[in-house]
A = this chain, B = another copy of it.
Amino acid sequence: MSDRLILTLAILGGTGKEGQGLAYRWAKAGYHVVIGSRTPPKAEGVAQDLNERLGSEMVAGTGNEEAAAVCDIAVLTVPYKAHEATLKGVKDQLAGKILVDVTVPIDPSSPTVLAQPEAGSAAQQAKALLGAEVQVAAAFQNVSHIHLRKDGPVPCDVLVCADSDDAREQVLQLVEAAGLVGWDAGPLENAVVVEGLTSVLLGINQRHQMKHAGIRITGEQRGDAPGSG
């Protein structure tokens, strides 16, 4: 982690449901959270609501650029159609930092079918756009905001892909701080699996009459189960 005691997290496009859910959980865990929006007053309103719910002043709201400028780690929770423009607007502010891309490259007209970008995934697209100075991770795409905005354990694990060990490690700590179980899902080349799993889960909701379908990783700890395999 960073040398600083309390990290500041920016949630870009954080006025949406997923962003609010993550902001709630991280503020509750003691992080400074700055919600960014194209419409700063909207971000301020969301921050105020969250502070009231939490009984603290851990959340602030501002524009996306300002949020990116003051943060240690930025989390991107925008609809895919706003992905490129939002990243271009904060590229300079993110230099030397980590971006956690939560974006799912979904075609809203058929969300249950994978819509893979040419770069391979939204996260790889972000990396191409932001360049070598920004570490990029992909995470949280599969977790329903319904779970994040409630208290208590979340019945969906988080797969974390990243382009550096440092980014992966820091994001896995953020997953844990949010009260979720995180797994190292490898390099950014694997991000299409994690992003695409959202389409698979949305389809399972539809076709199996479910809601908030998610995943858990199963398996045995090595050494703990001798003779079992």
User: Is B204's CB under 8 angstroms from A183's CB?
Assistant: yes
Measured CB to CB, the nearest residue on chain B to A202 is B186
CB-contact partner of A112 in B186, B200, B209, under 8 A: B186
Which residues 199-215 of A have a CB within 8 angstroms of B? 199-201, 203-205, 207-215
CB distance from A200 to the nearest CB of B (A): 5
Q: Which secondary structure dominates chain A's binding surface?
A: mixed
Asked if A68 is at the interface (CB within 8 A of a chain B CB), the reply is no
CB-contact partner of A184 in B204, B211, B220, under 8 A: B204
User: Is A185's CB under 8 angstroms from B210's CB?
Assistant: no
User: Is A211's CB under 8 angstroms from B229's CB?
Assistant: yes
CB distance from A201 to the nearest CB of B (A): 8
Q: A114 to B116: give the CA distance in the assembly, Å.
A: 14
Asked if A85 is at the interface (CB within 8 A of a chain B CB), the reply is no
> Max chain B CB contacts within 10 Å: which of A146, A184, A194?
A184
**Mask of A101-135 contacts with B, CB within 8 angstroms, 1/0:** 00000000000111010001000000000000000
Given the interface pairs A116-B192, A190-B199, A192-B114, the reply to whether A185 lies near B212 with Cβ below 8 Å is: no
